[in-house]
Structures are given as structure tokens and as C-alpha cells.
Structure 1
Amino acid sequence: MKLKIAICGLIGLGFMACKQSDKKKETKEEAAPVEETVVTYNFDLEGHRGARGLMPENSIPAFTKAIELGVNTIELDLAVTKDKQVLVSHEPYFNPLFCLDSLGKTIAKKDSIALNIYEHTYKQTQKYDCGSMGNVKFPEQKKQYVTKPLLLDVIALADSLTAGNTTPIKYNIEIKSLPEGDDIYHPNPKDFSDLVIATIKDKIAVENVVLQSFDFRVLQYLHQNYPEYTLAALVYKDDVKTNLDKLGFVPQIYSPLHNMLSKEVIAELHSKNMKVIPWTVNNETDMEELLAMGVDGLITDYPNKAIKYRK
């Protein structure tokens, strides 16, 4: 203690100041935060539209980010161009919420539906910027110029980023269609499904791809004509029995809106040999609760939040 007082004196501090400094140090050490214990699980972590919370959705930067963060699966949506190219896009038009038109101007909501991707060639779609505006729903999203990529471009990107990995990246591919949109905003279910299969055949191993849809006509066609593929039924309403009765068969995966699930529903689905992968789970409390209830995967805009729960 005498040595410490002497040192304090040399630097111009008195005895009391030295004591107070010592006390602050002890208090700081005592107040050190306790490390959080996180329970981890084996589950399929799927980056929704790549990593929509962080990068422009369904874009090359979004898929790059998702893979860099360590997702098992990249989730994406498909549209079709006038020249029959399979384009990665959630809507079959250019969303005014985050896209600029071919002249770099904002798009009025009333005009957006008319900007039909099915009436644009692939080359024409590349004139629309769907990233520089950002998305007000995702304030953390990085604003940058992006265009809608081809499905083949995304596959090539994933292959290059995961080359040499012991576990290949997987794909959850949504075929977006509605009865009222057939041959207007997209091909009919048969032609759409055949085009997608022709695009991914020999590019992605069958075991590394899931084909999902809200349109049960698509799933029924795939089930009958491409039984080797894993299918996921996307649902947002009704109970399990009602949805399976409408579908007409038991798919390998049941993918509901996350707040439709309970421990009992998950157990029911598992008893029918279906995996349960809910969408879109962005809240960490929801992630923890769903994983504790036994879901097999999570589809999330924020894979950076979910990665800590994965073994």
C-alpha cells in the first residue's frame, strides 16, 4: 500500500484519490456482465430471400450475405420473363416499395402491377434497380444498386462460394403462382414447373433442393410428375387436416406462418412424418420458442440473429 501511495504521489494524486480509483476498479470488476447461456439445436437455417433484413431481397448480395453468415439453405422465389428465363423475384412485377423503373424513377403503386415481368424480356428486367431505394420495412438493409438475377446466376454464385465445403448449400425454391395469374403473370402450373425442373436439372442435386408453393396445383403436379423431389406445402390459414385434404397427399415438409404453430400441432405433423419449417421468423423470442417446441427449421430475414441457436 505504501508503494501505491508513493506512485500516486508521483503522478500528482493524493491518498484519497488513489483509494477511490482502487474502489472504482473493484466495483467495475464486480459488475462484469454474466455471459448469456444460449440453448442450441440441430435445425435447418434458411435465409429468406437471401437475407432480406440485411441486403436487398432476392439479390446476389443477399444470397452472398446469407451464405457468408452460415445458413444451411437459401430460400428464394421465382418469376418467368417473356423469353422464358427463370428470374428470382417474389412478385411477378416490379414492387414500388423498393424498385425504381427503367428510367431510374419511383414507381406509383397503381402502376406497379402493369410492370409485368412476364411481359419483359430478361434484358429489359435488368434496367430496373431494386436495391438503391432500400426497404422501409427493413431499416438495417444496405442500400445498393441491384437487379433481379436469374436462378442460374444464383446457383453459379452459391457453387463458387461453397466450393470445397464438406456440406453443400441447399435451396428452398418457391414457385409463385395463382390461378388468376395463369398465362398472364406467369406460366400455368405444368409449364412453370417443367421450366423450373429443366433449369435446375444437372445443376442442383435432387437431395439438395426443396420445391415449395402456396399454389397446391403446383405441388400436385410436381408430386405426380417429379416424385423424386422434396416438396413443401406453404400455408397461412386453416388447420392441418383441412390443408392436407385440399392438397391430396402428405408432403415431406409443412411450412406454415409461424404463429399458427403450437407444440401439439408440431407433434401432429411429426406423427405424419412431415418436417415443420415455419416462416418468416424474425424475432429472437419466437425463434427460441419455436425451436424449443421442436420445429425442424426456421425461415428468417435475419440469419445473423438465428445462427447463434444452431449447433
Structure 2
Amino acid sequence: MNRNRFCFFLPFLLLLSCTNQMSKTSPTTATSLPAFDKEGHRGARGLMPENTIPAMLKALELGVTTLEMDAHITKDKQVILSHDPYLNPDHVLLPSGDEIPAADAKKYVLYQLDYEQIRQFDAGSKRNPKFPEQQPVKTRKPLLADVIDAVQAQVQREQLPQPFYNIETKSKASTDGKNHPAPEEFVKLLMQVVEEKNISEWVIIQSFDVRTLQVMQQQYPHVKTSLLVENPKGIDWNLEQLGFTPNIYSPYYKLVTPKLVEQSHAKGLKIVPWTVNKLSDMQQLQQMGVDGIITDYPNLFQEL
């Protein structure tokens, strides 16, 4: 190749090299978040047993763009869906079908049990008393891997748009080693499942625990993150504690004001409040300019 030809092709070769390198280090940047994110909280907690496969499939049926869920780790290092660190007697029954005695309300800690033990409990036949519209169905606390398989099969079968998975790490410093592993191990186990299922670009990792998000930023910077907030200290204080700018700022919905929306957007953040269960509140937040809503009742999105 003569010098003139080399000079002509050099910019192209450099661009190709940079593109290949970006695909290795930041494979998810090309997948944009929804313009308005409709998230089903714990699947569709108001309609089906929370954090179960039936709840996720119901949310899909209702057209959510994102499935929100909670992750815990079992004694044998499995990633399962659960909000509580123990089997909650409010909506979980013993393998026999009997109620969990009040004296044992927090006895069955997930991190102290193997998944084979946990899966024997009925996590759906007892309707959560806080959600009278919830449809009881006998089911179990599922592995994250099984949830992903069920969702992806439904997407393919029904030719649905690919949803995002908004997965919360349920951890805090005071219960490290008791209710869950330390942040590094928690994130490693969670991301092993995500990567095995090849859905990294469709995953958001959210948490109130800034430590797990910091591990994500250090080790998996290509994966989207969301900071959950329930304190009134403001966006600047919360981002300072986090130490970096995530993709999403996710406050309790009563903390949202037009000023907070403006501040979030000025920082390049999407703002997606939780957990909004009244249509009137949804409409008010939408008018403020939020970028999405997390709700127990994804059927309400059809009325927005």
C-alpha cells in the first residue's frame, strides 16, 4: 500500500479500532432508557404476589417498559427475588400450608437458608392484606435466573418489546454477613446471573445502599445504575454520598418537586419516583416532567 492510500485509510482504521474497543468496554451505552419508563413495582404487587414469576408476567401483559424487583442472596449463594430478608408471614405460608407463627415472624432468614429449603414455602396463596386486589396463586420465591428465563420466553412467544430489569440490591452496612453478603460479593453473584443470561444492556441496578452502586461503577461501569432515595437531604447531598452520577435518580414520590425535576435534568439524570399508586399522583408527577413512574398497579398506566 502506498503512502497516499495509507493516509486515506488511516482515519477509517482508527475509527474501527475505537468502535471495537468501545464495544468491549461499554456494550450497553447504545441501549437508551425509555422516553417515559413504566415500571411494575415488584412485578405487579397490587395485582399478583410480589416478586414472583406470575407478577412479572402480569406486568409484561400490562405493557410495562421495566420490571422492578428486589434481590437477596441465599446461604448457598443463589440470587433470589425477595423484598424482605426473611420469609414474611404477611404473605408467605409454611411448606405445610399453615401460617408462620407470630413468634417465628423473622425466623426464616433467606441468607441462612439454602434455596432448596426456601422454595418449599408458598409465597403466593396468602393474599397480602395491604393489597385487596391482589390475586392469590400458589407460587414460590423464584431464582433471578428463572425469572429472566420466564420473562424472555414470554417476550419471544408474544413478540413483545424487550423490557428492562430494574434490580434492587437489598443490603445495608448494619446487616452485612447476617442478612446478605458484603457489597462486593453481593454484586458479583448478581452480575454473574445477569451476564450468564446475556441481558446486561437491559439491566438497571438500583439501591439505597451506595456501596453496591459504587462497586457497580468500579467493576461494571457499562451497566446502568439508579440511586434510590427516601431522605429529604436533596439531590446534591445524595449524589455526594454516592460519589458519581448514576443514570437515574429515584426518590420517594412525595419528595418530587418541579425544582427537583429541573435539578435532575440539569445533571443529566433521569428522575423516576417510587411507589406511586394513585392515578391523580401519577398525572401530577407526569406534569412535573418526571421520566417514569414505579407503581404497584401497572394497569393504571393505561389511563395515563
* Count of paired positions: 269
- Native 8 Å contact 1:59 1:149 kept in 2: yes
Q: Partner amino acid for 2:204? A: V
Residue of structure 1 equivalent to 2:252: 257
Q: Deviations over 1:183-209 (max 9, x none)?
A: 111111000001111111041432211
Alignment pair present for 1:172 and 2:134:
no
- Native 8 Å contact 1:71 1:307 kept in 2: no
Q: Partner amino acid for 1:54? A: L
Alignment pair present for 1:160 and 2:153:
yes
**Shift of the alpha carbon at 1:100?**
1.1
Residue of structure 2 equivalent to 1:147: 140
Q: What is the alpha-carbon distance in structure 2 between the residues aligned to residue 227 and residue 293 of structure 1? A: 30
| Other structure's SS at 1:163 match | helix
Alignment pair present for 1:95 and 2:88:
yes
| TM alignment of 1:78-227, pairs within 5 A | 78-163=71-156, 165=159, 167-227=161-221
TM-score of the aligned structures, taking structure 2 as reference length: 0.85
Q: What is the alpha-carbon distance in structure 2 between the residues aligned to residue 207 and residue 42 of structure 1? A: 16
Cα distance change of structure 1 residues 197 and 82 upon mapping to structure 2, 3 Å threshold: same
| Other structure's SS at 1:201 match | helix
Q: What is the alpha-carbon distance in structure 1 between the residues aligned to residue 248 and residue 288 of structure 2? A: 16
Q: Partner amino acid for 2:47? A: L
Q: What is the alpha-carbon distance in structure 1 between the residues aligned to residue 171 and residue 95 of structure 2? A: 25
Q: What is the alpha-carbon distance in structure 1 between the residues aligned to residue 118 and residue 130 of structure 2? A: 24
Correspondent of 1:268 among 263, 271, 275: 263
**Shift of the alpha carbon at 1:146?**
1.4
**Shift of the alpha carbon at 1:284?**
0.3
Q: What is the alpha-carbon distance in structure 2 between the residues aligned to residue 65 and residue 231 of structure 1? A: 25
Task: Structure 2: state its 5+ residue gaps.
Answer: 1-33
Q: What is the alpha-carbon distance in structure 1 between the residues aligned to residue 143 and residue 302 of structure 2? A: 27
- Native 8 Å contact 1:45 1:307 kept in 2: no
Residue of structure 1 equivalent to 2:289: 294
Deviates more, 1:45-54 or 1:97-106: 97-106
Q: Deviations over 1:93-125 (max 9, x none)?
A: 101111112332212444222211111111100
Q: What is the alpha-carbon distance in structure 2 between the residues aligned to residue 123 and residue 42 of structure 1? A: 40
- Native 8 Å contact 1:258 1:279 kept in 2: yes
Cα distance change of structure 1 residues 191 and 270 upon mapping to structure 2, 3 Å threshold: same
- Native 8 Å contact 1:284 1:305 kept in 2: yes
- Native 8 Å contact 1:263 1:293 kept in 2: yes
Q: Deviations over 1:149-181 (max 9, x none)?
A: 110111011111111737311100001001121
Percent identical: 45
TM-score of the aligned structures, taking structure 1 as reference length: 0.84
Q: Deviations over 1:31-73 (max 9, x none)?
A: xxxxxxxxxx951101100000000001111111000111111
Give every structure 1 segment of 4 or more consecutive aligned residues whose post-TM-superposition deviation is greater than 6 Å.
Answer: none
Q: Partner amino acid for 2:238? A: N
Residue of structure 2 equivalent to 1:234: 228
Q: Partner amino acid for 1:76? A: M
Residue of structure 2 equivalent to 1:282: 277
Cα distance change of structure 1 residues 260 and 109 upon mapping to structure 2, 3 Å threshold: farther
Q: What is the alpha-carbon distance in structure 1 between the residues aligned to residue 53 and residue 73 of structure 2? A: 18
Q: Partner amino acid for 1:254? A: Y
- Native 8 Å contact 1:47 1:74 kept in 2: yes
| Other structure's SS at 1:299 match | strand
| Other structure's SS at 1:107 match | coil
Q: What is the alpha-carbon distance in structure 1 between the residues aligned to residue 129 and residue 183 of structure 2? A: 33
Q: Deviations over 1:120-147 (max 9, x none)?
A: 1111001111211101110000012111
Task: Structure 1: state its 5+ residue gaps.
Answer: 1-40
Q: Partner amino acid for 2:168? A: E
Residue of structure 2 equivalent to 1:24: none
Correspondent of 1:304 among 271, 285, 299: 299
| Other structure's SS at 2:274 match | coil
